[in-house]
A = this chain, B = another copy of it.
Amino acid sequence: MQKQILLLGVFGHPKSNTQTLAHWVLEGLDYTTINLADRQLNFIQDQRWAPLWLPPVDDYQKILQAFLAAPTVVLASPIYWYGLAARLKAFIERWSETLALEPTFRQRIACKRLILLMVGGDDPRVKAQPIVQQVAEICAFLGMTLQATVIGQANRPGSLSNDPVAVRQAASLNQDLKAVGQ
């Protein structure tokens, strides 16, 4: 049976702080996890202007179907070089391909609720604001709702528990998600 929440993240390390943050937010809830670091994903080949768009062979379609099936998606990314992880950005860029090929894509993705979780080491609650803005623009373009954002600060694997703001905000968001029965 389809779960209500998809956790779509980039978790490179066994003690990934980004994964830890996601687990705090989703504790006690039923959800599916996809780790893009374990999947095969190609960069988009822009063929918008070509006669035929030939998608590469990889895991994109499977990940996309899981994304579209879940009413709530938790996007969890480490902050790499002041941006989303390129693996996650590469997934989003493939949506241009789907926009060109799937007439129902816009309708299916609209109204989805996104939750954005990020962890970085260099003053992330200030310096990741442009990323929040980027994701908010993406949501506005597609009619999705950016429901909540939690940004954690950590410099070593396993060290996120030293960030009291992230701990508190994750717990608060967890309560909210439970309250609405997700």
Contacts and interface: CB of A to CB of B under 8 A. Distances in A.
Interface of A: 12-13, 15, 37, 43-46, 49, 78, 80-87, 89-90, 92-93, 95-96, 122-123, 125-127, 129-134, 136-138, 140-141, 145-148, 156-157, 165, 169, 172, 175-176
B165 A82 contact: no
23 contacts: A12-B46, A13-B46, A13-B49, A37-B45, A49-B157, A80-B89, A81-B89, A81-B95, A83-B84, A83-B89, A83-B134, A85-B93, A86-B86, A90-B90, A122-B141, A125-B146, A129-B129, A130-B131, A132-B132, A145-B165, A148-B169, A172-B172, A175-B175
Given A123-B140, A126-B137, 10 more contacts: A46-B78, A80-B89, A82-B134, A83-B89, A86-B89, A125-B136, A129-B129, A129-B130, A129-B133, A175-B175
Contacts of A78: 46
Contacts of A12: 45-46
Most chain-B Cβ atoms within 10 A of its Cβ — which of A83, A147, A157? A83
A153 to B, nearest CB: 11
Contacts of A134: 81-83, 130-131
A37 B42 CA distance: 12
B82 A86 contact: no
Contacts of A49: 13, 15, 156-157
Contact of A129 (B132, B138, B148): B132
